[in-house]
Structure 1
Amino acid sequence: MVENHSQPADQAPVARRWFHPLLWALVLIGLNMRPLLTSVGPLLPTLRQATGLSFGGAALLTALPVLMMGLMALAGGWVNRLLSERASVLLSLLAIALGALWRELAPDSVQLLLSAVLGGLGIGVIQAVMPGIIKHHFLKRMALVAGLWSAALMGGGGLGAAVTPWLNRGHDWHSALAWWALPALAALVVWLWASRGLGRLTSPAGRQAGSLFRSPRAWLLGIYFGLINGGYASLIAWLPPYYMQLGWQPQASGVLLALMTLGQVAGALALPALARGHDRRPLLWAALIMQLVGFIGLIGWPLQTPWLWALLAGVGLGGAFPLCLVLALDHLPQPAAAGRLVAFMQGIGFLLAGVAPYISGLLRDYSGGFLLDWQLHTLLVLLLMALTARFHPRSYRQSGGG
């Protein structure tokens, strides 16, 4: 049963479709999904010196939020039985803001890790409920809106990387990290206004967990999503330190990460817009090829056209993210059921992706460099290209929607 007390944006007058308050509230919320992760990398040398964290420990500042994304996505059904989508997003934005503020109040290693957990909890809940909201309210433009949502995620990540070193010039490093509470509070206010009248997608009784844990297709989607986002998590954690090890200044390495994120925004907007029909595989292969070239460039020619390798990896990663969301949403016609499948995919995927930067940090501690990590992700991209062949549209029905 669908309980909706607001008009779907796809049924709104044409002039209002791209100016719908809910759509732009989603964009502002999306901008707050990544600065908690990407703001750390450019300040990593200063942060490690101040806190005594090893590379493996510092990697937890990225890994823990990603792991929380996975746990909260898997717990999404339980959360939604307690709270509406509107309340879930409100409380989650508050958690993100408090997580950032925590870094100002208690900037030592334990408190930093706890702030990452709190912020990751909020990010995870929002990412679990948002695909269902998108499918219900923007069904006819699902791929485009998913791309816009993903572009906002990536754009927020770029802002975190580029702006944080600038904030650090006039403040302590922990104050620079804490400033990211402000956009989260702004998004909370806008969501409070834009989501008025937003009803539950289903009644609480209809939010049962189902049998996704016994579904091979759901697990395949989760592993696929996790391997793709593992590359993203490693790059946002270690691309700036990689280039600082090669002699770059923190500001320049942060700009390179921002450039990679600009590529992600472009990929998230462009590749879903090119989608025709229901076969997502050609565009997914194109995204993976760009990732492959980017990682190979980082391995073989890091100081020759580094902007090109960052852009290619970014476009590939940015395009793959919304295409994965749409791929999962395609499996089931009902928005709530499709949203539950996406939440499961993100849960398994982010748990898997959350391990990636930690493994990268351990490899860095072991080898003294980052080439082993880039080589590992190159092999994983080749595996992903093979797995992509499994997602022919005929397989959706055969897999029972998961």
Structure 2
Amino acid sequence: MSKKGNNRNTVFMIFAIFAISINMRPAITSIGPMLETIREQLSLSNAQVSLLTAVPVICMGVFAMLAPILNRTFGLRQTMTVMIILIGLTTALRGFMPGYAVLISTALIAGIAIAVMGPLLSAMIKQYFPDRAASVIGIYSFGMGVGSAASAGLTAVFFDKTGSYLFALSIWSVLALIGLAAWVLAMSNRIEVRQTDAVIVKAQRKKVKSPWKSRKAWLFLLFFGLQSSAFFSIITWLAPIATSAGMTLLQAGTLLSVMTTVQIFLNILLPQLMQRFPGRKFWLLLMLIAGMTSIILFWTGIHSLMWVGAFFMGIPLGGLFPVALLLPLDETETAEEASAWTAMMQTGGFIMGGLLPLLIALVFDWTANHQYTFAIMMLLYVMMFILTFLIGNKKERETY
């Protein structure tokens, strides 16, 4: 194939990664601005409404191991196509069938679809961009940041214009059309993630042990879980915290927009900076200090300081996720290894990420006091700060 053809295929593939990734957060992040509205209109407890974000995140962990299985059975093209369609249909369904049962069931299905898409995208990046993984991970993270920012910031605007939280939640299904079109275009080049067949896998098991037996992989899982918990906790609870501090729903939505706009730039900027200036410990500590500073500013309840806090919180929200995604890619050598390590990391990590916001909801139902919410969030950042020293800077692949 000509160099021009290769370049065109690369552009199609990168655009497909971006277009798919923008679909991987709105089904979850659009709930945050509507949390109080849904709770009031459906007469739910905080714990019940918090399940709408907890369930898909937990599913992203529980079903992550389906990715390599479905890839082997049906192939990348069919698997990814079905997952994109599922996200689009379940998101659209929220606008036509009201009720808590519909919201929770669509959250479940969307979570399963996202769980399968994540490891496959990581494996694609490892296989097709081995020397540019940080840059492409940045685009992948950037896409998720765009989806998060748009849904977190504009959902309240759609609700304000229409008065319907059903429309505000379901409008994000249009992103699936973009993702599906980009995927079909990329698949004209028959992209596949190579999977070792069962006979070879069996022969290799003596040489390569499961990541579940690696200490480093467990550290990555714990870090990924803590950053997921911090991300989904702040995305879910910042709007309710802001309204309880006296902001209007539109002001709270704008606060989320400020935070997620900073997140978008960090999603793509930080991997580039880390590639140019190696030393992940420095970058992690810098982001974690910004996060802890932000929580203190939110904790004051002073509106002007909360706006500053939103800016600072965008730094860890935008940077921690792409760094976490790079960790298993740094430690593995093949696409299959990368997929296995990423699936393991996301299995445990997303389960943690779903449970912590739910814990905050239970504590808030019990205490009606967001002081405990801030304390839990601060604890997450302190734990990541300690864990950063255990993970350290990039090293040679771990020997077993």
- TM-score with structure 1 length normalisation? 0.91
- Residue 179 of structure 1 is matched in structure 2 by 171
1:207 & 1:359 partners in 2: Cα distance?
40
Q: Tell whether the 8 Å contact from 1:100 to 1:180 is kept in structure 2 after alignment.
A: yes
Alignment of 1:3-402 (within 5 A): 16=7, 20-168=11-159, 169-170=161-162, 172-196=164-188, 197-205=190-198, 211-275=210-274, 276=276, 279-393=279-393, 396-400=396-400
CA distance in structure 2 between the aligned counterparts of 1:317 and 1:194, rounded to whole angstroms:
29
How much has 1:18 moved relative to structure 2? 10
User: Aligned letter for 1:307?
Assistant: W
Structure 1 runs of 4+ with >4 Å offset? 11-15, 206-210, 393-396
- TM-score, L = length of structure 2: 0.91
Report Cα offsets for 1:40-95 as digits up to 9, x if no partner.
12222221122122101111111111011111213323222323222221111111
Give 1:351 shift: 0.7
Shift of 1:125: 0.9
| Cα 1:79–1:396 shift into 2, 3 Å | farther
**8 A Cα contact 2:57 2:351, kept in partner:** yes
Give yes or no for contact 2:263–2:314 (8 Å, CA) kept in 1: yes
CA distance in 2, matches of 1:370, 1:233: 16
After the TM superposition, which of the residue ranges 201-210 and 69-78 deviates more from structure 2?
201-210
Q: Deviations over 1:359-382 (max 9, x none)?
A: 111121122132212212212212
The 3 A distance-change label for structure 1 pair 265 and 394 is closer
- One-letter amino acid of the counterpart of residue 177, structure 1: L
Q: What is the letter of the counterpart of residue 254 of structure 1?
A: G
One-letter identity of the residue aligned with 2:219: L
Task: Please give the alpha-carbon distance, in whole angstroms, between the structure 1 residues aligned to 2:295 and 2:331.
Answer: 31
Q: Matched residue pairs, number?
A: 391
2-side partners of 1:283 and 1:15: how far apart? 34
- 1:217-242 C-alpha deviation (Å, 9 max, x unpaired): 22221111000110100011110011
Report how far residue 200 of structure 1 moved. 3.0
Which of 219-228 and 81-90 deviates more? 81-90
Q: How far does the alpha carbon of each residue in 1:184-210 deviate from its partner, in whole angstroms, 9 at most, with x for none? A: 122112211212211232244367896
Read off the aligned partner of 1:241 and give its amino acid letter.
P
1:12 Cα deviation (Å)?
A: 5.5
TM-align CA RMSD? 2.3
Q: Distance in 2 between matches of 1:374 and 1:106?
A: 35
Contact 2:29 2:148 in 1 (8 A): yes
Gaps of 5+ in 1: 1-6
Secondary structure of 1:326 counterpart: helix
2:321 and 2:3 mapped to 1: Cα distance? 27
Shift of 1:345: 0.6
Alignment gaps of 5+ in structure 2: none
Once the two structures are TM-superposed, the CA of residue 295 in structure 1 deviates from its matched residue by 1.3
The C-alpha deviation readout for 1:335-377, integer Å capped at 9, x for no partner, is: 2212221121111100111101101111211221322122122
Give the distance between the partners of 1:187 and 1:397, measured in 2 at CA.
34
On the 8 A contact 1:98/1:119 being kept in 2, the answer is no
Q: Would the aligned equivalents of 2:194 and 2:336 in 1 still touch at CA under 8 Å?
A: yes
Task: Assess, with a 3 A threshold, how the Cα gap between structure 1 residues 396 and 64 changes in structure 2: closer, same or farther.
Answer: farther
Letter in 1 for 2:338: A
Cα deviation for residue 291 of structure 1 reads: 1.2
